[in-house]
Amino acid sequence: MEKIRVMLVDSHALVREGTRVFLERESDLEVVAEAADGLEAVELAEKHRPDVIIMGVAMPKLNGIEATRRIKAQHPTTAVLILTAYDIDQYIFDLLEAGAAGYLLKDIRMRDLVQAVRAVYAGESILHPAVTKKVIDRFVGKSAAAEPQETSTPEHLTRRETEVLKLAAEGMSNREIADSLVISIRTVQVHFSNIFAKLGVGSRTEAVVYALRNEWFDLDDQAP
C-alpha cells in the first residue's frame, strides 16, 4: 500500500511528538518530517515533498498563514491541513485563501484527525458545509471588484466536471455528489482529480473559490 506522506508543523515539540506517535499507528500514514516554525516548514516541504502538511498557526519566524501561502505557491497539489487552538474567523479566511484544504481545532479526537488527513489527501474539504458557504461568500465578496484570473476558462473543464464542481460549492460530500449525479464515488474522485490538475489546486475549497472568482457560476444558482 502506498502511504500518505505527512509533515507536522507546530512550535510545540510535545504536540508534534504526540501527533506523530498516533499517526504512525496507521498503516497508510507516514510522518516524513517535522518543523518547529513556518520558515523551516517551507524548507522541509521543498526537501521532502509531503502529500499532507498538518500546520499550526502561531509560530516563530514565519506564521502558518504565510508558510501555507509559500508552500502552496511552490507545491500546489500538497494539501495543507490547519490544526490550531484559534477559532478566529479571520484566521480561517486568511488560511483558506492562502490555500489550506481544511481547518481543525486542537480539541478534536485523534481518530478524527486521521480521517481528516485521508480526506484532504483525497481532495476532500473537511469544512462543515455551513462554514464552506460562509467562506465562499466571503471570497466572492472580496473578489467582486477584482480582476478575474486569466489562467483558465470553464471550457477547460468538461460538462460533468463543471457539474461536480458546482455541487461541491453547495457543500455536498463525494457521496452526495455521486448520489445526485447517479455515478460512483470513485468516478467523483476521478473528476475531482482532473479538476485539480486542470486548475493547479489541491482541494475542493480551492477549486470552488477559483471558479467563483472567475465567475464561472453564481452562488445565486446554488441550493441554499
CATH number for the domain spanning 188: value is 3.40.50.2300
Flag whether 128 is in a domain: no
Flag whether 126 is in a domain: no
99 and 16 belong to one structural domain = yes
- Is 203 within 8 Å of 125 (Cβ atoms)? yes
| Conformation bin of residue 109: beta by default, left when phi > 0, alpha when psi is -120 to 50 | beta
107 and 138 belong to one structural domain = no
160 and 90 belong to one structural domain = no
Q: Last residue of some domain: 121, 146, 176?
A: 121
Flag whether 30 is in a domain: yes
C-alpha radius of gyration, the chain, whole number: 17
Sequential pLDDT tens for the chain (224 residues): 689 999 999 999 998 999 999 999 999 999 999 999 999 999 999 999 999 999 998 898 889 999 999 999 899 889 999 988 877 777 777 887 788 888 888 878 888 889 889 988 887 777 644 456 666 666 555 544 445 444 445 668 888 998 888 888 776 778 888 899 999 988 988 888 888 888 877 677 778 777 777 777 665 544 43
17 and 101 belong to one structural domain = yes
Instruction: Specify which residues 104 forms β-bridges with.
Output: 83
Q: What is the model's pLDDT at position 108?
A: 81
Q: Last residue of some domain: 93, 121, 149?
A: 121
Q: For the chain, where are the E strands, in sequence order? A: 4-9, 29-35, 52-55, 79-84, 102-105
Residue range(s) defining the domain that contains residue 93: 4-121
φ and ψ at residue 207, rounded to 5 degrees: -65, -45
pTM over 0.75: no
37 and 88 belong to one structural domain = yes
8 and 117 belong to one structural domain = yes
- For residue range 203-223, what is the model confidence (pLDDT) as tens digits? 777 787 777 777 776 655 444
143 and 204 belong to one structural domain = yes
Q: What is the model's pLDDT at position 151?
A: 45
Number of domains observed in the structure of the chain? 2
Nearest Cα neighbor of 163 from 182, 148, 146, 138 is 182
User: How many CB atoms are located within 10 Å of the residue 13 CB?
Assistant: 10
8 and 116 belong to one structural domain = yes
158 and 117 belong to one structural domain = no
Q: Last residue of some domain: 86, 121, 156?
A: 121
115 and 15 belong to one structural domain = yes
99 and 175 belong to one structural domain = no
* DSSP3 helix / strand / coil % (the chain, rounded to 5): 55, 10, 35
139 and 167 belong to one structural domain = yes
Flag whether 127 is in a domain: no
In sequence order, which residues have a C-beta less than 8 Å from that of residue 127 and are 6 or more positions away?
102, 103, 135, 205
